[in-house]
């Protein structure tokens, strides 16, 4: 579902064809960020939910073989908060994607079992409903498959293998009835675990922010500074080129230079695709509720929204593969403050945030 086309130049170098494609957006770019001005209803089979204001129901991605049901949401929520899915029963999904930190992690990189550190910042789980591909480099094709990874990742939940994780769940008598309600029988397997967790994650949504209320006609919802920031976002600061549409992302991958000055930089999507134009490219993250999820970027290297805006104002981090859309912006200090005020106005209440009152025993 990539929305990116490439126009490239190819040359014959030492007998081999060498291409240096240029990344361009193939679809017409929306001139401004915009979204629905009335709450929309999301439907999946007989199940439905009124989305927070500003979120677009027809952009939801729900695989045909995993329709939403209340029973599956409840099971997935229990699994998401259950530390028993980790080797020493200390780490749950919720340890690194914390509900009260915008479903992200206050540390630059997260601590897994035995205080082991990973290499990347934990992205938010908010509004994953609107993406198929997951991870900073898009290597998981959907939320269902993404959920399998952390369970056996040695620096995350560190289970020796998935069979051990499933055996752990089968030993909890209370899970059988929840799988029965969600899937029609008590069988517990990895496929069902992934489906249930993904279904819960799809209900973790943020909208109805001051920005959404402003769009819907409440002219007092944004401060004058945030209104100026909105104009910059859509105009001189060029943010909307990548942070496009109602969820503030083009669902694509770009090199803005973060970490590219390191001795051995994380090359991001390149490791996944081996395409030269993906060197140092990472997924454009949503900006909804971004004020809650510091620190920022795939390596957690930017501590504040003000420092993120300064980075863009400098023109990112220079490197051979820097996106052509990243150029010095020449914004005044007060214009930078306005942009931050706008980013802060993207914070809305988060649905389904409360931890389960008890876990199956």
Residues at the interface with ligand HEC (CB under 6 A): 80, 91, 93, 95-97, 110, 112, 118, 120, 122-123, 125, 128, 134-136, 143, 146-147, 150-151, 156-157, 197, 201, 237-239, 241-243, 254, 256, 258, 282, 284-285, 287, 290, 293, 296-298, 305, 308-309, 312, 323, 325-326, 339, 343
Q: Toward ligand HEC, which CB reaches closer, 175 or 296?
A: 296
Q: Toward ligand HEC, which CB reaches closer, 41 or 91?
A: 91
Q: Toward ligand HEC, which CB reaches closer, 222 or 297?
A: 297
Strands (E) across 84-151 are located at: none
Longest dimension (CA), the chain: 65
- Written as six digits, the tokens of 154 are 């040695």
CB-based contacts of 301, cutoff 8 Å, min separation 6: 108, 258, 259, 295
Tokens 């489906």 found at: 195
CB-based contacts of 193, cutoff 8 Å, min separation 6: 79, 147, 148, 165, 166, 169
**HSE-up of 253 (CA within 13 Å, CB side)?**
27
Residue 96 CB, nearest approach to ligand HEC (Å): 3
- Written as six digits, the tokens of 149 are 């990874």
- Written as six digits, the tokens of 315 are 């023109």
Which residue numbers are catalytic? 156
Chain centroid to CA 141: 13
Q: Toward ligand HEC, which CB reaches closer, 54 or 123?
A: 123
- For 275, counting Cβ atoms within 10 Å of its Cβ (0-12 exposed, 13-18 middle, 19+ buried), the class is middle
Strands 47-50 and 4-13 come out as unpaired
90 to 87, 268, 285, 323: CA distances (angstroms): 8, 29, 28, 40
Q: Toward ligand HEC, which CB reaches closer, 50 or 167?
A: 167
Residue 249 CB, nearest approach to ligand HEC (Å): 8
């Amino acid at each position: 579902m990539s929305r990116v086309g490439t126009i490239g130049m190819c040359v014959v170098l030492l007998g081999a064809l060498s291409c240096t494609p240029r990344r361009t957006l193939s679809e017409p770019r929306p001139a401004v960020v915009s979204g629905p001005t009335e709450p929309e209803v999301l439907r999946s089979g007989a199940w439905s939910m009124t989305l927070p204001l500003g979120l677009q129901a027809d952009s939801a991605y729900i695989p045909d073989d995993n329709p939403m049901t209340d029973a599956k949401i409840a099971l997935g929520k229990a699994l998401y908060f259950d530390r028993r899915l980790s080797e020493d029963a200390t780490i749950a999904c919720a340890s690194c994607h914390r509900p009260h930190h915008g479903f992200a992690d206050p540390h630059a990189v997260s601590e897994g079992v035995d205080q082991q550190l990973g290499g990347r910042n934990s992205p938010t789980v908010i509004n994953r409903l609107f993406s198929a591909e997951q991870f900073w480099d898009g290597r998981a094709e959907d939320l269902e498959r993404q959920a399998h990874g952390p369970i056996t990742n040695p620096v995350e939940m560190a289970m020796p293998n998935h069979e051990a994780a499933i055996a752990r769940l089968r030993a909890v008598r209370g899970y059988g009835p929840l799988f029965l309600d969600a899937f029609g029988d008590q069988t517990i397997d990895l496929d069902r675990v992934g489906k249930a967790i993904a279904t819960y994650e799809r209900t973790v949504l943020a909208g109805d922010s001051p920005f959404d209320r402003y769009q819907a006609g409440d002219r007092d919802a944004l401060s004058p500074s945030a209104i100026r920031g909105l104009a910059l976002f859509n105009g001189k600061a060029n943010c909307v080129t990548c942070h496009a549409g109602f969820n503030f992302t083009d669902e694509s991958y770009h090199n803005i230079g973060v970490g590219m000055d390191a001795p051995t930089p994380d090359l991001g999507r390149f490791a996944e695709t081996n395409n030269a134009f993906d060197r140092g490219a990472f997924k454009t993250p949503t900006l909804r509720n971004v004020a809650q999820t510091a620190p920022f970027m795939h390596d957690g290297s930017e501590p504040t929204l003000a420092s993120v805006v300064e980075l863009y104002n400098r023109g990112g981090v220079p490197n051979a593969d820097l996106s052509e859309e990243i150029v010095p912006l020449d914004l005044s200090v007060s214009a930078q403050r306005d942009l931050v005020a706008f980013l802060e106005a993207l914070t809305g209440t988060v649905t389904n945030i409360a931890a389960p009152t008890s876990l199956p025993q």
